[in-house]
Amino acid sequence: MSDTSAYTTRTALVTGAASGIGAASARWLDRQGIGRLILVDRDAAGLDALELSCPVQAVVGDVAEEALWTGLDARLEGLDHAVLNAGIATGGAIADHSFEDWRRVMAVNLDGAFLSLRAALGAMRRREPAAGRRGSIVLTASVTGIRPVAGIGAYGIAKAGVAHMARIAALEVAGEGIRVNAIAPGGVDTAIWESSADFRAGVERHGRDATLQAMAATTPRGRFATPDELAGEIGFLLSDAAANITGTVLVSDGGYSL
Ligand code: NAD
């Protein structure tokens, strides 16, 4: 699908890179022979544990802090690709949400997406285009931002915002050789589920595999995706093979939203 030699002179940014889909995306880019990776996460130990062969600049911080992005600006010079993926999940119906939980989900999932997108767009705009191409960006949304799911209101609302952010940004920069897309995963087997009390209770009673299997029962495919499956799809959207694709929200949910 991709010409790996194309990546050797390129720089990519991945947020939420210490775990799950972000870590798998960093590994995917590493396998393409990417020239330089800038990895952002609040989890220093998780970033340390990644075994990558390309040059890596690991940045420990909170994507929702504007100062992180101001400080990073110079390092983003020459940016080719960005996977803006850091996110947290929280459960709870809208009527039951504490304002504190609502604000935290909005801060990480929406403010963090905006701040990282603005920084990536700024860096791409400052560079000279090569063959009309300046860069490509993928934001991680969620199928819960497309199909309403009861009980995770704040998260779904934030992810609907992320998907629309990708569409609007795509429209604004399409003429400048920058592509912006989003991926909307359904269930993926990652650590994010540990933040769900129902999931933790299920794991305690039935084990992790059986709990994931039960949750995937409502998905036509019958199982959750792996982080590597998502990384391959994100990689396609980043790659030159997707040169005509911008403003798309690619649903990767095993048929869940059908
Ligand atoms: P994960 O928990 O394995 O990874 C998320 C990473 O983001 C972690 O390394 C975490 O430390 C980092 N992070 C969280 N808040 C941060 C912050 N404020 N600043 C910097 N880093 C931060 O989960 P994942 O499933 O790989 O999640 C990746 C993205 O995929 C998220 O945006 C999530 O909402 C989205 N998503 C996941 C699923 C799923 O089922 N796993 C489904 C749909 C969407």
| Residue 62 falls inside a structural domain | yes
Residues listed for the chain: 258
Give me the CATH number covering residue 97.
3.40.50.720
| Residue 202 falls inside a structural domain | no
> What's the pTM?
0.97
CB 167, CB 247: distance < 8 Å: yes
Q: Could you tell which of 13, 19, 28, 106 is best to mutate to test the pocket of ligand 1, judged by most ligand atoms within 8 Å of the CB? A: 19
- 155 is known as an active-site residue: yes
What pairs with residue 102 in β-bridges?
none
CB 214, CB 133: distance < 8 Å: no
Domain count, the chain: 1
H/E element holding 180? strand 178-185
| Residue 20 falls inside a structural domain | yes
pLDDT of the chain, 258 residues: tens digit per residue: 456 678 999 999 999 999 999 999 999 999 999 999 999 999 999 999 999 999 999 999 999 999 999 999 999 999 999 999 999 998 889 999 999 999 999 999 999 999 999 999 999 999 999 889 999 999 999 999 999 999 999 999 999 999 999 999 999 999 999 999 999 999 999 999 999 989 999 999 999 999 999 999 989 999 999 999 999 999 999 999 999 999 999 999 999 999
| Residue 220 falls inside a structural domain | no
Q: How far is the CA of 163 from the centre of ligand 1 (A)?
A: 15
21 lines ligand 1 (CB under 6 A): yes
CB 29, CB 14: distance < 8 Å: yes
| Residue 208 falls inside a structural domain | no
Q: How far is the CA of 202 from the centre of ligand 1 (A)?
A: 21
| Residue 240 falls inside a structural domain | yes
Structural domain of residue 109, as residue ranges? Answer: 4-188+225-252
pLDDT value at residue 1: 47
Q: Which of 7, 28, 69, 155 is catalytic?
A: 155
| Residue 38 falls inside a structural domain | yes
Cα separation, 90 vs 152, whole angstroms: 6
Structure tokens at 127: 């560079």
pLDDT value at residue 91: 87
| Residue 215 falls inside a structural domain | no
Cα separation, 255 vs 180, whole angstroms: 24
pLDDT value at residue 18: 98
Give the N- to C-terminal CA distance of the chain in Å, as an integer: 27
Cα separation, 21 vs 152, whole angstroms: 20
